[in-house]
Amino acid sequence: MSGDASSSTHRAVEAVWRIEAPRLIATLARMTGDVGTAEDLAQDALVAALEQWPTSGIPDRPGAWLTAAAKRRAIDAFRRERMLEEKHATLAHELTERGEHALTALDESIDDDIGDDLLRLVFIACHPLLSREARVALTLRLLGGLTTDEIARAFLVPEATVAQRIVRAKRTLAAARVPFEVPRGAELAERLASVLEVIYLVFNEGYAATAGDAWIRPALSEEALRLARIVATLMPDESEVHALVALLELQASRFPARVDAQGAPVLLLDQNRARWDRLLIQRGLAALARAESLAERAHHPLGPYALQAAIAACHARARVASDTDWARIAALYDALGEITPSPVVELNRAVAVAMAFGPAAGLEIVDALRAEPALAGYHLLPSVRADLLARLGRGAEARAELERAAALTRNERERALLQARAATLGRAGES
Amino acid sequence: MRVMVFVKASPESEAGVMPSEELLNAMGDYNEELVKAGIMLAGDGLKPSSAGARVHFSGKSRTVIDGPFAETKELVAGYWLWQVRSMDEAIEWVKRCPNPMMSDSDIEIRPVFEPEDFGAEFTPERREQEERLRASIASQQA
């Protein structure tokens, strides 16, 4: 086989792998009861595919092939375990029984109800027992099919660190004997919150571009959006899941407009809205409508993601920045602050209030935040305050705030911009 | 990345023969898979070209040509818009599609231009955007 043909097969195997890996790992995790074992078995199946497919060709049903290959290895592993560990013979026997029973069931319904296993895998990867970093790494690895190297590059940490995180996470889950199941009742809310948080973290890592290779960052946001959409099909009745989809679709709709040709960020109100992605806006608004009607049907108030999505929707609906319904945004921030009190939410509310009801009303809220220790080193507080002071004609105070903001920011571009604004205010004051 | 996936026309699709119930079911299942995988952004089937029209451009003139059009295999009978991670992934998904036509047929995959494809090239549109941005910053400072 020529080099080109084998490399194209190799790429095809990788594509198949990315499509099949989450379902494969999920199925194997149910069989073995252990995510780490499941991933090892799945990896073995991938290795077998990489060895065999270049000569045999890609099978018609590659997913079924990978599952069968992993199953064979699972059974071998169970038997080996039974032989090696005499004293655990009974347990191993049970495992084999369980495994073989699961395998039989699997044969009968190879494509049925895989969704349940996938959802279990989502919940286990985002288990609150694990650190945030571990949850993110495990989710990208098990559900996104990303390699350790890709995750490392995305988060600008050494590959060994990511590998360690994943190994430790799997060990933690095994040691705690975390059951492979979808939580119910009171536990569900807390566990679901963790799933949504992990997806949002991944999205924001791509969106905020704080670190990592430039090329992989948009891919990270796309991955998060894909995961959110998948979870929404797995939990169609959960308002907050659709709300997260809505929030991500709406934020992603602004991607094409959020940086200028030099890569400098363009503020929301300065963005060229003609560049916003109408398809994503439409999808986001539809997901938000779904979230709102589900909440209403369940007689629940809107959750934090629904409120944030509703705020994003206010911007999305305004064809020009001056059409923005700031009074509604202020009310939504108010509601958000009620359920998730945070000085950052309050600062955002201040901006919305200033836009809706004038700078004096906004300044009142901002001034109350100055004593907030959580915002002590946060450059946006003096920056927002400066804007409001400038609009009230208090130029000298505004300039002092801009200089404070410039000293606090760690972003060079932002600092330059703040200093430039301070200098302009200075000249305006002198003249 | 996004790809546009074109289902090419066939003699029967151009003749307006409706797909069999079997094919509709198979396509329904396939579409459900695409949604479950989180890759499907949009998609629709198109009426035969006899229901369509073309506008021919030549300098200032615009000539309207009503369908049907001859080159059946080049015509589009349906499309999807997908968000995938690579062309290879898109190809894998297309291979899983049930035969879209009763006769032999093609599905064509075309990647959509993304902002980064334009690279560092400073297009006129971007230059205009940049200028607008500068103007708006200046007006905030004023």
Percent of chain A topping pLDDT 90: 58
Could you read off the pLDDT of A297-341 as tens digits, one per residue? 999 999 999 999 999 999 999 999 999 999 999 999 999 999 999
Q: Do A18 and B89 touch (CB under 8 A)?
A: yes
Inside any domain, residue A117: no
Which residue in the set B89, B122, B142 is minimally distant from A19, CB to CB? B89
SS percent in chain B: helix, strand, coil, step 5: 40, 25, 35
The answer on pLDDT for A195 being more than 80 is: yes
In this structure, the answer to whether residues A227 and A246 fall within a common structural domain is no
| pLDDT given at position A114 | 63
Residues of chain B neighbouring A233 (CB-CB closer than 8 A): 35-36, 38
What residue type is assigned to position A376 of the chain? A
Pairing of strands B53-58, B2-8: unpaired
The phi and psi torsions of B123 (rounded to 5 degrees) equal: -70, 160
Per-residue pLDDT, averaged over B43-59, amounts to 96
Of A81, A112, A143, which closes a domain? A112
Cα–Cα dist A170/A176, whole Å: 10
| Weakest mean pLDDT among A40-49, A71-80, A382-391 | A71-80
pLDDT score of A83: 65
Q: For tokens 């084998």, what's the residue? A: A6
Q: Are residues A136 and A107 in the same domain?
A: no
A18 and A63 together in one domain: yes
Q: Is residue A311 part of a domain?
A: yes
- Would you place residue A147 in the very low, low, confident or very high pLDDT band (cuts 50, 70, 90)? confident
Confidence of residue A102 (pLDDT cuts 50, 70, 90): low
Quick check: B133 and A233 CB within 8 A? no
Q: How far is B71 from chain A (nearest CA, A)?
A: 31
**Residue of chain B minimizing CA distance to A218:** B1
Convert B82-104 to b/e letters by CB count within 10 Å (16 or more is b).
Answer: bbbbbebbbbbbbeebeebbeee
Q: What DSSP designation does B20 have?
A: P
In a shared domain, residues A301 and A398: no
Same domain, A240 and A305: yes
What separation in angstroms does the CA of B29 have from each of A26, A114, A119, A242, B41? 21, 14, 20, 22, 16
> A15 contacts in B (CB within 8 Å)?
86, 88-89, 91-92
| Per-range mean pLDDT, top range of A94-103, A409-418, B133-142 | A409-418
CA distance A283 to chain B (A): 8
Residue-level pLDDT at A109:
44
Average of per-residue pLDDT across A189-209: 87
Domain spans, chain B: 2-141
Alpha helix ranges (H) inside A156-298: 159-175, 185-208, 216-234, 239-252, 278-297
Q: How many CB atoms lie within 10 A of CB B139?
A: 8
Which residue did the predictor score with more confidence, A318 or B139?
A: A318
Q: Do B129 and A425 touch (CB under 8 A)?
A: no
The enclosing H or E element of B80 equals strand B76-83
Total tally of structural domains belonging to chain A:
5
**Percent above pLDDT 70 for chain A:** 86
What contacts B70, CB < 8 A, 6 or more positions away? Answer: none
**What mean pLDDT do residues A394-404 have?**
93
Instruction: Check whether A216 has a pLDDT greater than 60.
Output: no
**Residues of B whose CB is below 8 A from A19:** 37, 89, 92-93
- pLDDT by residue (tens digit) across A15-43? 998 899 999 999 999 888 899 999 999 99
Q: pLDDT value at position A75?
A: 83
Mean pLDDT across A387-405: 93
Q: What is the pLDDT of residues B74-123, one digit of tens each?
A: 999 999 999 999 999 999 999 999 999 989 999 999 999 876 666 545 45
Using the Cβ of A343 and the Cβ atoms of chain B, whether some distance falls under 8 Å is answered with no
CB contact under 8 A, B132 and A272: yes
The predicted pLDDT at position A413 comes to 74
| Residues 51-90, chain B, touching A (beta carbon < 8 A) | 81, 83, 85-86, 88-89
Rounded CA-CA distance A259/A384 in Å is 21
The answer to whether residues A139 and A123 touch, using CB atoms and an 8 Å cutoff, is no
Q: Which residues of A touch B42 (CB under 8 A)?
A: 279
Closest to B16 measured CA to CA, from B44, B49, B52 = B49
Split at pLDDT 50, 70, 90, the class of A80 is confident
Q: Do A18 and B85 touch (CB under 8 A)?
A: yes
Name chain B contacts of A260, Cβ cutoff 8 Å: 126, 129-130, 133
Lowest-confidence segment of A100-104, A224-228, A271-275, B134-138 by average pLDDT: B134-138
Q: What is the number of residues in chain A?
A: 431
A102 and A4 in one domain?
yes
Q: What is the pLDDT of residues B11-39, one digit of tens each?
A: 999 999 998 999 999 999 999 999 999 99
Backbone angles phi, psi at A90, to 5 degrees: -65, -45
Write out chain A residues lying below 8 Å of B38, CB-based.
Answer: 225-230, 233
Q: Report CB contact under 8 Å: B116, A218.
A: yes
> What residues make up the domain containing A89?
1-112
Tokens 């905020």 locate to A208
Residues A168 and A210 in one domain: yes
Do residue A357 and residue A394 come from a single domain?
A: no
| pLDDT for res A411 | 73
A167 and A243 together in one domain = no
Question: Dihedrals φ, ψ of B65, to 5°?
Answer: -120, 120
Chain A: nearest CA to B32, how far in angstroms? Answer: 10
The answer to whether residue A313 is domain-embedded is: yes
Nearest to A330 by CA among A362, A367, A378, A285: A362
pTM: 0.85
Question: Do A257 and A224 sit in the same domain of this protein?
Answer: no
Asked whether the beta carbons of residue A19 and residue B116 sit closer than 8 angstroms, the reply is no
Q: B2-141: which CATH number, 1.10.10.10, 3.30.70.1060, 3.40.190.10, 3.40.50.300?
A: 3.30.70.1060
* Position A134 in a domain: yes
Question: So what's the pLDDT on residue A265?
Answer: 72
Over residues A128-147, mean pLDDT: 92
- Flag whether pLDDT at A45 surpasses 90: yes
Which residues in chain A touch residue B137, judged by CB atoms under 8 angstroms apart? 270, 417
What's the pLDDT at A431?
38
* Tokens describing residue A267: 């503020």
Cα–Cα distance for residue pair A305/A310, rounded to 1 Å: 8
Same domain, A318 and A353: no
**Nearest CB to B88; choose among A12, A228, A417:** A12
Task: Provide the pLDDT for residue A108.
Answer: 46
What's the confidence (pLDDT) of residue A145? 83
pLDDT digits (tens, 9 = 90+) for A281-305: 999 999 999 999 999 999 999 999 9
Mean of per-residue pLDDT scores for chain A = 86
